[in-house]
């Protein structure tokens, strides 16, 4: 029963996140006007507004004018449903799941805004940072010390990476004929701090390592597939979001496995 509720909540929230992802960067209200087709302007009927299902029934087209509706809408809804269920499976019935769901929601919204607009909205990151710190007081782990350390190291790492790229790596790459523009910006700084506040120092370490691996692997695939020939910047936010999910679900465990493996303990 609770599983079905978690999935349903995720689908409904995912549907709302689609609206936020689309409208907030354009500074449009998220409540008015109600959802409508961008071409024929007809409002979406309530029974055509069911997450995932309606898109499948309408075969991805507007009921009135046949305009194709992006498959990303049902994908965001399904992804949110899946991650809400995963949060309940991992953290059980309680505040830890609420905290996980808040972080997951932040990550989904911001990652897709970053993909679309190459910005990580500052307001979301700062609100998330505050929520993450409050969450560590209300529902540890991580304890507040770990959350503060995670936030500080997260911001510090991004600052270090930006400076390292700007003053060293970009020049090295250019010498080898690769003109790759930086994909990391100062928007990533409070974003990594938010992630650290939610998952603590161990979780953040795992999240950053995972984000770098995702970034390098997917960046190389994009380059070899010819999708990124001119070295245009690949936004780092979505990789940080992916890494944060790894840190959230498996952070402390992976951290301890690594420490044992490296013989540091």
Nearer to Zn ion, 44 or 127 (CB): 44
Of the pair 68, 94, the CB lying nearest Zn ion is at: 68
What residues contact residue 251 under an 8 Å CB cut-off, 6+ apart?
199, 200, 202, 203, 204, 205, 206, 207
67 or 164: CB nearest Zn ion: 67
- Among the listed residues 78, 80, 57, the one whose alpha carbon sits nearest the alpha carbon of residue 69: 57
Q: Minimum distance between the CB of residue 264 and Zn ion, rounded to whole angstroms?
A: 59
Task: Provide the minimum distance between the beta carbon of 65 and Zn ion in the complex, in angstroms, as a whole number.
Answer: 3
- The residue range among 30-38, 89-97, 138-146, 238-246 that interacts with Zn ion, by the rule CB under 5 A, is 30-38
Does 40 contact Zn ion by CB under 5 A? yes
Distance in Å, CB of 66 to Zn ion, minimum: 7
Contacts with Zn ion by CB under 5 A: the residue count is 7
For residues 39 and 166, which CB has a smaller minimum distance to Zn ion in the complex? 39
The least distance separating Zn ion from the CB of residue 54, rounded to whole angstroms, comes to 14
Please state the closest distance from residue 57 (CB atom) to Zn ion, in A: 15
**Least distance from C-beta 62 to Zn ion, angstroms?**
3
> In angstroms, what is the minimal distance from the CB of 61 to Zn ion?
8
Q: Is residue 57 at the binding interface for Zn ion, with CB under 5 A as the rule?
A: no
Angle of helix 122-138 relative to helix 144-164, nearest 10 degrees, comes to 150
Residue nearer to Zn ion on the CB measure, 39 or 181: 39
Nearer CB in complex with Zn ion: 69/248: 69
Identify which of residues 62 and 161 has a Cβ nearer to Zn ion in the complex.
62
Residues 6 or more apart whose CB falls under 8 angstroms from that of 245 comprise: 83, 104, 107
Which tokens is 212 given?
A: 């770098």
**Which residues between 61 and 80 bind Zn ion (CB under 5 A)?**
62, 64-65, 67
Using CB under 5 A, pick the residue from 6, 37, 193, 210 that binds Zn ion: 37
Binding string, 162-181, against Zn ion, x = CB under 5 A? --------------------
Q: What is the distance between the alpha carbons of residues 162 and 191, in angstroms, rounded to a whole number?
A: 14
65 neighbors 44 (Cβ within 8 angstroms)? no
- Binding residues for Zn ion, rule: CB under 5 A, are 37, 39-40, 62, 64-65, 67
């Amino acid at each position: 029963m609770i599983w079905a509720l978690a999935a349903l909540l995720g689908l409904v929230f995912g549907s709302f996140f689609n609206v936020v992802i689309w409208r907030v960067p354009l500074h449009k209200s998220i409540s008015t006007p109600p959802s409508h087709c961008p071409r024929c302007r007809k409002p979406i009927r309530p029974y055509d507004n069911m997450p995932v299902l309606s898109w499948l029934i309408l075969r991805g087209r507007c009921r009135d004018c046949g305009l194709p509706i992006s498959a990303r809408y049902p994908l965001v809804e399904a992804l949110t449903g899946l991650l809400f269920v995963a949060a309940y499976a991992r953290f059980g019935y309680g505040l830890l799941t609420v905290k996980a769901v808040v972080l997951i929601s932040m990550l989904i919204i911001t990652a897709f805004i970053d993909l679309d607009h190459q910005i990580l909205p500052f307001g979301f990151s700062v609100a998330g940072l505050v929520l993450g710190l409050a969450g560590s007081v209300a529902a540890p782990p991580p304890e507040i010390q770990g959350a503060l350390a995670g936030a500080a190291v997260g911001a510090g790492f991004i600052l270090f990476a930006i400076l390292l790229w700007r003053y060293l790596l970009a020049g090295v790459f250019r010498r080898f004929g690769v003109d790759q523009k930086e994909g990391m910006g100062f928007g990533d700084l409070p974003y990594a701090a938010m992630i650290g506040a939610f998952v603590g120092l161990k979780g953040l370490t795992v999240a950053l390592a995972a984000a770098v691996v995702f970034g390098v692997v997917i960046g190389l695939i994009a380059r070899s597939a010819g999708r990124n020939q001119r070295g245009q910047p690949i936004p780092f936010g979505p990789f940080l979001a992916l890494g944060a999910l790894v840190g959230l679900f498996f952070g402390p465990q992976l951290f301890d496995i690594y420490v044992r493996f490296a013989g540091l303990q």
